[in-house]
Amino acid sequence: MADAFHFLEEPELVFAHEQVAVDPRDGLSMFGPADGPLPSAPYVAIGTAEGLRLWRDWVSAMNAPAACLDRSRQRAWPPYPGFDVAFGSPWPSAIRSFSLDKDALLVAARKADKHERTYAVAGLYLEHFDQIGRLDQKPAVAVCIVPDEVYVNCRTESYPYCCIRFSIYPLGIERHGES
């Protein structure tokens, strides 16, 4: 019995103005979305001063076109036309940003007890929700920018760097969890 190879053609996708393309990257960059401009959801951003600066840089980069300079790699990494061109509306800026004290956030993220750690970190982010409720324009989303150390220390199975104990045995190193 011979193995048969069946090649399935890619379906054509429909984009704005009933234009078709096989590759969604090509279709979005040349024609835009089929449904027209996407409405943008108002949002607030909460993070440290550095995190908020990085978020603004990311938003700016999302709205700007980008391309791989090596033309031989452009099929794998096609030029990005920018969010506005691809989706018909720019990626919006936050309606309001709330800055967190980085030192207080890192102290909270280093608590030994995982429940206290999670409660303390979440509490610092949630402190601003009273102010959010009083904004004239109501946000649909709150974007929480989390520093790397908070991300590492506050995941479900994580242990803060300050609380990991190691024992060295002849066969290797064993982790004991929280101290």
- Report the chain (179 residues): mean pLDDT per 10 consecutive residues: 80 89 83 76 93 94 85 74 83 93 94 88 91 89 91 72 43 44
Does residue 55 form part of some domain? yes
Do residues 149 and 106 lie in contact, with contact meaning Cβ atoms separated by under 8 Å? yes
> What is the rounded distance in angstroms from the CA atom of residue 9 to the CA atom of residue 22?
9
Residue in 68, 83, 73, 77 with CA at minimum distance from that of residue 23: 77
28 falls within a domain: no
Predicted pLDDT of residue 145: 93
Query: Tokens 């190879």 label which residue?
Result: 5
- Does the residue 69 lie in any domain? no
Q: What is the structure's pLDDT at 166?
A: 42
Q: What does the DSSP 8-state code read for residue 17? A: G
In a domain, 123, yes or no: yes
Whole-number Å distance between alpha carbons of 142 and 121:
16
How many distinct structural domains can be found in the chain?
A: 1
Task: Let me know if residue 16 belongs to a domain.
Answer: no
Q: What is the pLDDT of residue 143?
A: 92
Residue 160 and residue 110: Cα distance in Å, rounded? 6
The boundaries of the domain holding residue 140 are 41-63+95-175
In a domain, residue 170? The reply is yes
**pLDDT of amino acid 101:** 96
pLDDT, residue 133, reads 85
The answer as to whether 50 is a domain residue is yes
In a domain, 21, yes or no: no
Spatial separation of the C-alpha atoms in residues 179 and 159, rounded to whole Å: 10
H or E element, residue 43: strand 43-48
Q: What's the pLDDT at 160?
A: 53
